[in-house]
């Protein structure tokens, strides 16, 4: 069987509508907050990843069995988004979802989500997703910026963005409030 090409290639795809209702967002927040909290880390090896000059956030990991409907909804959207935009081979959910909170002053400097050292591959992270869980009125700043697309992404509550994991991006400092989001990565065999 010959694989079909996506209708058009795009490495940044914003959902037109929220993928989760405010009530579903709150359920995800509750699930994330009920798991052990840790400081967000970077991929720097020499300090085991903790670099507050590069990232200040709190994270937890949501077990697959805890939020089965959430994972199924995201998988359905991922399959469609990959088929229509990315066209990457063998992409699937390979890691638990990361619940992330950026308190006032929290940020994540420019980075890519692919492990460029190749120590932990395969599967290779191919597509990343960020879904805003907070109402936009609960925080200021904390914008997702894509370097290669040269734009600021202002998500609405429940809205998600899917992007190629090799694109450089950041979360700008939160100037007021607390930004809550769900982050996921989808992997597969190495890119060709």
Q: Residue 27: is its pLDDT beyond 80?
A: yes
Q: Is residue 147 part of a domain?
A: yes
Q: Is residue 180 part of a domain?
A: no
69: Cβ contacts below 8 Å, ≥ 6 apart? none
Q: Is residue 47 part of a domain?
A: no
Domain count for the chain, please give it.
1
> Which residue do the tokens 């940020």 mark?
107
Mean pLDDT of 14-38: 97
What was the pLDDT predicted at 52?
60
What was the pLDDT predicted at 114?
83
* CATH number of the domain within which 61 lies: 2.60.120.620
Calculate ∠ Cα 126-51-178, nearest 5°: 80
Residue 178's nearest CA partner among 113, 105, 84 is: 105
80: Cβ contacts below 8 Å, ≥ 6 apart? none
Q: Residue 1: is its pLDDT beyond 60?
A: no
Helices (H), 34-102: 68-81
Compare 48 and 140 and report the one with higher pLDDT.
Answer: 140
116: Cβ contacts below 8 Å, ≥ 6 apart? 43
Query: For the whole model, what pTM was predicted?
Result: 0.87
46: Cβ contacts below 8 Å, ≥ 6 apart? none
Domain ranges, residue 157: 12-35+55-174
Q: Is residue 70 part of a domain?
A: yes
């Amino acid at each position: 069987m010959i694989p079909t090409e996506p209708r058009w290639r795009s490495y940044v795809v914003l959902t037109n509508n929220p993928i989760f209702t405010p009530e579903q967002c709150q359920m995800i927040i509750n699930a994330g907050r009920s798991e052990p909290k840790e400081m967000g880390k970077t991929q720097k090896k020499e300090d085991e990843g903790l670099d507050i000059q590069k990232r200040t956030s709190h994270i937890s990991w949501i077990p697959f069995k805890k939020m089965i409907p959430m994972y199924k909804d995201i998988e359905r959207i991922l399959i469609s988004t990959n088929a229509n935009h990315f066209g990457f081979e063998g992409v699937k959910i390979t890691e638990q979802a990361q619940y992330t909170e950026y308190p006032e002053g929290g940020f994540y400097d420019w980075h890519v989500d692919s492990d460029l050292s190749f120590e932990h591959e395969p599967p290779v992270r191919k597509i990343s997703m960020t879904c805003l869980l907070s109402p936009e009125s609960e925080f200021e700043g904390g914008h997702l910026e894509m370097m290669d697309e040269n734009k600021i992404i202002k998500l609405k509550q429940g809205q998600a963005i899917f992007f190629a994991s090799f694109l450089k991006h950041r979360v700008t400092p939160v100037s007021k409030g607390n930004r809550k989001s769900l982050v996921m990565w989808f992997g597969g065999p190495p890119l060709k």
